[in-house]
Copies of this chain bind each other. A is one copy, B any other.
Amino acid sequence: MAPVDRLEQVLAVLRASGGRVTSPRRAILWALIEHQGHPTAEQLTADVQARQPDVHESTVYRFLDELERLGVVDHVHLGHGPAVYHFADDPHHHLVCEGCGLVVEVPVRTLEEFRGLVRRDLQFEMELRHFALPGRCKACAASRRAANAGGLRP
């Protein structure tokens, strides 16, 4: 989708819900659309303030909350540290490498089999939308195995 179309689409949702279109909100949305990857609220605030220095941190948090209530964005916790935000369409899960910080996006259906397994065996409905699965990417796992040769942990 073209950036401008996406902006207008979200603004339409916002208006339809009784929300108002303000200049900070446009700027925040724009930062979210332009950002490649998984921005934190802090990064978005910085991007916004580069153009509109008076926009306050708490405005960013509040608007992100509202966008989440509207189903437009989701937040994800990538292990420790701040949450990151992304648009909620094309839902996906996240794998995050604890070594290098690499974030891998995984289509929902890739983990559907596992969710079914846990549902059947443990009567538990996993919900991975808001929490990444932590671990090590191939490279980091290999370098750790090398470092741990003869180490303590099994």
A residues bordering B, Cβ < 8 Å? Answer: 71, 79, 95, 97-98, 104, 106, 110, 113-114, 117-118, 121-128, 130-131, 133-138, 141, 152-153
Task: Check B135 against A124 for contact (C-beta < 8 Å).
Answer: yes
Task: Check A125 against B141 for contact (C-beta < 8 Å).
Answer: yes
Chain B residues near A95 (CB, 8 Å)?
118, 122, 124, 126
With A71-B153, A95-B126 given, name 11 new contacts (CB 8 A).
Answer: A95-B122, A97-B124, A98-B127, A104-B122, A104-B124, A110-B121, A114-B117, A124-B137, A125-B135, A128-B134, A131-B134
Nearest first, the 8 closest Cβ-Cβ pairs linking A and B are A126-B135, A125-B141, A123-B138, A125-B136, A127-B135, A114-B114, A125-B135, A95-B124
